[in-house]
Structure 1
């Protein structure tokens, strides 16, 4: 792919720290490569008010980036309602974060799940899944989804289910029960929700 300049993206990224700007730029490169496979010409991919990428007409997608990993997934409207992907380092969450992202029933289930998952950090996996859910939710409902509004059940077979509290949304298109997939590697955790 020829090197292109997207001044709107460059302007948007100006205030970011160098590391964050690099993640933003490489995430957009992944997104344009994915769009190219759909036959969509390269375009700037900015962020909307909720932080979700602003995709070209008739496209849905998601971008993820973390230390050592960047990816994008896209699809066409009509074939998909929404896509949410996330990647996280395969490390335990910092102290105090689990209490901010998990509801009591999830914390209780995580103790059991952690035994089944072995070395996979269950708390970080829960965070990864909730981020993927939010990325799928945001462009559909256009309102914030708090961590306590998605109750997640993780299965060791690489699947998850989540019950979504849609009560604060006026649109309410997003399903109340969603199912997705997760996968670990030695270095990262990945989660995907495709509707």
Structure 2
């Protein structure tokens, strides 16, 4: 699912459920310590997504290593590698790529269901809400508000490793194209500098399948030659 909306050189692994047995057997001691007091659901999500990430890393020739979150929850990756993880009810995924080809990659998956009451107004701008209403009138089969939320999550997962700064939901404006399953995120604050070029927008792609919506953004190492997924 996620792999289909990213370039071929991005290694993607995904699962729709968790392995049976004790998931903590798959963790490094440093990782196990982080979730020692977590509820079983959280332990399963944490473990499965790291199992998938290490499987993706092996496809790049990388040895298994602990994947520890920083203060913002962003995972640490081996030198020369960038990546992203996501998990939601019924889906886990991890993607990695070599930094010579990729400056950043961000993925997110969500249930294809409307956002909880009151959340839409918090995470969207007025123009986005108008476009969401138009999309819902055109095709009510997709939970467009949840898709937009997912796109903003993918934006943050690209933004944060490049800047190490927070980004509010209202500091990027998303426009979804339903015809070719793409979206464009326009940054409303100064963007990161990549290859001596300041990036002001992040193009991405999306998919809706199996009761889920998912989004992905790929930023090339030379963004002026094409920042979006191919």
TM-score range, shorter chain: over 0.9
Residues 1:182 and 1:6: Cα distance change in structure 2 (over 3 Å): same
CA contact (8 A) 1:50 1:142 kept: no
Per the alignment, residue 98 of structure 2 pairs with 76
Name the counterpart of 2:68: 46
The aligned counterpart of 2:109 is 87
For the pair 1:165 / 2:178, whether they are aligned, the reply is no
Residues of 2 paired with 1:187 and 1:135: CA distance? 23
Q: Which runs of 4+ in 1 moved over 6 A?
A: none
Q: 1:5 to 1:97 in 2, by over 3 A?
A: closer
Partner of 2:153: 131
Q: Deviations over 1:87-122 (max 9, x none)?
A: 000111110010110011110111111223331001
- Equivalent of 2:201 in 163, 177, 189: 177
How many residues align? The count is 191
Equivalent position SS for 2:127: helix
Give, in angstroms, the shift of residue 16 of structure 1: 2.1
Is the Cα–Cα contact under 8 Å of residues 88 and 188 in structure 1 kept in the other structure?
yes
| Cα distance, 1:20 vs structure 2 | 1.3
Alignment partner of 1:22 is 2:44: yes
In structure 2, stretches of 5+ residues that fail to align are 1-24, 220-230
Unmatched 5+ stretches in structure 1: none
Partner of 2:169 in structure 1? 147
Q: Supply the distance in 2 between the matched residues of 1:84 and 1:117 (Cα, whole angstroms).
A: 26
Partner-residue secondary structure (3-state), 2:205: strand
Matching of residue 32 in structure 1 with residue 54 in structure 2: yes
Asked if structure 2 preserves the Cα contact closer than 8 Å seen for 1:50 and 1:143, the reply is: no
- How far apart are the structure 2 equivalents of 1:175 and 1:15? 40
TM-score by length of 1: 0.93
SS, match of residue 57 in structure 1: coil
Post-superposition shift, 1:128? 0.7
Q: Which moved more, 1:40-49 or 1:158-167?
A: 158-167
Residue of structure 2 aligned with 1:190, choices 208, 214, 224:
214
Distance, in Å, in 1 between the alignment partners of 2:43 and 2:77 is: 19
| Partner-residue secondary structure (3-state), 1:54 | coil
Distance 2:166 2:139 in 1: 30
Shift of 1:184: 0.2
